[in-house]
Homo-oligomer: A and B are copies of this chain.
Amino acid sequence: MQPTHSFLRAALRLQTESTPIWIMRQAGRYLPEYRKVRARAGDFLSLCKNPDLATEVTLQPLRRFDLDAAILFSDILVIPEAMGMNLRFLEGEGPLLEPALRSTLDLDLLHPIDPESHLDYVMKAVTSIRRELDGRVPLIGFSGSPWTLATYMVEGGSSKNFTFIKRMMYSDPKSMHRLLNLLSDCVADYLNAQIQNGVQAVQIFDTWGGVLSPRDFLEFSLRPMQNILERLKTIGPDGQQIPVILFAKGCAAHLETMAATACQVLGLDWMTDLGQARDRVGSRVALQGNMDPAILHAPPERIQQEVRDLLASFGPAPGHIFNLGHGITPDVSPEKVAILVESVHNESQRLRQERS
């Protein structure tokens, strides 16, 4: 049974009438209505944990823009919290995870998760968003990759040089693998629970795979993701295939290797040439991306030009999902997003007509 939504069709490399678009962090601080709900919730984590408010902010961008998918509003760090760590978001400072995991003894403090109970608020949000969406567009679920989650857990938050996790990786690879294995189990269970509750596609964010040497990326980032891919449900409760998007920032050197995994879509950052990436992966996967988010500060004509360039660079084959190469930043004006979304649909339709 082939899907009808253009986002799901493009993810499976089926023809679409226009190129679908969604935007990483489309439910976010650049929207005044998001900032209002966020203020009402108190803090960021309370917003994530309130299924009604999470539903509301997930839907907000869809009311403004003709986006082709919704993405669950949540945070990748709910997993470490569910495993027993203390999570806080300090205003303007980024996340804090305590106590930071520095030794194999620290790992003893973690426990496996039962997503339906430890992360019940996420599952409630998924159910509620699906009900509100009422089939209009598909809902994307997500998780951080094991390596990316591990960086926050070992560093105790964000990091610049990744000193502590690399110390563990190079000096105590056994503990490193123990943590990554534990996380692979949690992420697989978590994504499967999201699918069971109704998400129609999932994205795995490997935000920090790009700080690893090629050999280390394969061992510490890609292999755990492959373990997850092998364990994910491929068909949802409604009988539809669940496409998996792998987004590994700064990892364009590994496109071919990533395309050979069980994922359906590769997300690209904007440092990667879309046309070259298309040539390199051939018809093995669909591609998602990859406009520089900063172009949203440019005048409308420049945004439209960039859209035309990217669509032309991908070429006529099916299998392109338009997106930014990274999350939208809070300083972008929503008017520019409207121009982007409209332009992607109009230009891609025009291109298809020219070609037929």
Contacts and interface: CB of A to CB of B under 8 A. Distances in A.
Interface of A: 161-163, 166-167, 169-171, 210-217, 250, 252-253, 270-273, 276, 292-295, 297-299, 302, 325, 329, 331
Given A166-B297, A297-B167, A250 B253 contact: no
B271 A302 contact: no
Nearest to A212: B271
A213 B270 contact: yes
A313 to B, nearest CB: 9
Given A171-B302, A212-B271, A297 B163 contact: yes
A297 B167 CA distance: 6
Nearest to A160: B329
Given A167-B297, A212-B271, A216-B292, 11 more contacts: A162-B294, A163-B331, A166-B295, A166-B297, A170-B294, A171-B298, A212-B292, A213-B271, A213-B273, A214-B273, A253-B253
A271 B249 CA distance: 12
Copies of this protein in the complex? 2
Nearest to A273: B214
A214 B325 CA distance: 13
A273 B254 CA distance: 11
A299 B171 contact: yes
B329 A166 contact: no
Nearest to A299: B171
A210 B271 contact: yes
Contacts of A298: 167, 170-171
A166 B331 CA distance: 13
B170 A297 contact: yes
A223 to B, nearest CB: 17
A135 to B, nearest CB: 36
A166 B253 contact: no
A276 B254 CA distance: 12
13 contacts: A161-B293, A166-B295, A167-B298, A211-B271, A212-B292, A213-B270, A213-B271, A213-B273, A214-B273, A216-B292, A217-B271, A252-B253, A253-B253
B167 A271 contact: no
Nearest to A332: B163
Contacts of A169: 294
Contact of A302 (B163, B170, B299): B170
A294 B169 CA distance: 10
Nearest to A329: B161
